[in-house]
Amino acid sequence: MDNAATSFPKPREVSDAMVAYARELGASPGRGAYREVTETAKILQRCRERLSELLGGPAADHVIFTLNTTDALSMAINGIVTTRLLNGRRAHLITTDLDHNSVLRPFKLLEERYQEQVTVSRMACDPESGMVDPEDIKQALEPDTALVAVAHGSNATGTLQPVEAIGAICRDADVPFLVDAAQTAGHRPIDMKRMQIDLLAVPGHKGLLGPLGTGALLMEQGMEELVAPTRVGGTGNLSESDSHPDTMPERYEAGSHNAIGLVGLDAALGWILDRSVDRLASHEIELSELMLEGLLDMPGIRLLGPTRIEDRCSVFTFVHRDLEASEVARELETQHGILCRSGLHCAPFAHQTFGTDPITAGSDGREPGACRISLGPFLGREDIEFTLNAIRALDQRTALVANQGATSP
């Protein structure tokens, strides 16, 4: 129940492919010309093609491998700002209160480092649903706006943002649109073209079911002119030159690849494509409906984020009336073997929006944060019912204690 951190389990095909690579290939693509190198390079090429197919993305050479989502977001954000500053222009950056620290922190660092040239606007979100109003983003655009970055699905509340509407506004204004799909890639259909997304950051290790240490930045054609490379070095091509090559994808991929991880990701993508994201999403939506109804029905539970299933991804965060989030997580683990994540979820302003931040929550002595359950494709209805029963039992037990307390002298 902690698939939002990283998915578990993975399809059997993932570890099989990684073991086969480790035993039979073990080569570094682009380094040498022997059979094992070309075989590994072919698998990585197929992995790029599969990512693009799955996400409605650009040509495979515009699919850049990264370490994770954070790395992909940093590559895009730092690259865009570097190009602006090199051209002697200011960079105004827009994001939302529900975004993750992997957008907020690079924005803040750039703002502090380049005080005169870089400014940030953070859009407030609805305190009930967590949604941003695309009109607010439109109003916030300035002539110097260099980038709009939005998390498709919130890891703190499960809120799905209206990325299609924001994409249309950005395209109209000719401002690059960066989407953080950490919580949606593989969980919900994404089509970069239809959603007018210019830059898409995805983890390989969450909903795409690959191993940790994998991720990608998908760049629409032409984005390479706006995104300066921020990591340069050996690429295995054009080695006669000490200038970093402009060829794609090497422009952004310096150093040896995480080949074993990418081989695993490729196998995971094959597994997903065989079933289709639509089918996996409808299974998760069915489970999410069950979870949503169950949680909304418990009097002692405050669910954060949207109450309509169509506004949510597969992330459910809640606060218990009496118990601290860490106690809930501990009880779920020790009494029921359910693994979830409690605390603050790397999204400080999301917690402020919902009153679960250290200042608001801490003011009455309560521990800040919330308890998060997140779904994946290997769960079934029985797992959701089991989890709901466990939370319900906790809720009823504390209600009983509270009632006994009220009637005792």
Q: Which residues bind ligand PLP (CB under 6 A)?
A: 4, 68-70, 100, 102, 151, 155, 180, 182-183, 203, 215
Nearer of residues 151 and 272 to ligand PLP, judged by Cβ: 151
CA distance 339 to 9: 13
Nearer of residues 129 and 183 to ligand PLP, judged by Cβ: 183
| Residue facing ligand PLP at closest CB distance | 155
Q: Count the Cβ atoms, other than its own, within 10 Å of residue 11.
A: 21
Q: Which residue has the tokens 């943002």?
A: 161
User: In whole angstroms, how close is the CB of 215 to ligand PLP at the nearest point?
Assistant: 5
Sign of CA dihedral 83, 85, 88, 90: positive
User: In whole angstroms, how close is the CB of 137 to ligand PLP at the nearest point?
Assistant: 18
CA distance 316 to 97: 18
Write the single-letter amino acid at 386. Answer: F
User: In whole angstroms, how close is the CB of 102 to ligand PLP at the nearest point?
Assistant: 4
User: In whole angstroms, how close is the CB of 97 to ligand PLP at the nearest point?
Assistant: 13
Map residue 403 onto helix, strand or coil.
helix
User: In whole angstroms, how close is the CB of 395 to ligand PLP at the nearest point?
Assistant: 27
Q: Are 262 and 5 in contact (CB under 8 A)?
A: no
Nearer of residues 175 and 179 to ligand PLP, judged by Cβ: 179
User: In whole angstroms, how close is the CB of 346 to ligand PLP at the nearest point?
Assistant: 6
Nearer of residues 103 and 394 to ligand PLP, judged by Cβ: 103
Nearer of residues 72 and 338 to ligand PLP, judged by Cβ: 72
- Give the sheet arrangement for strand 145-151, strand by strand: 63-66, 215-219, 199-203, 177-180, 145-151, 91-96, 118-123
DSSP 366-397: PPP-EEEEE--TT--HHHHHHHHHHHHHHHHH
CA distance 78 to 91: 11
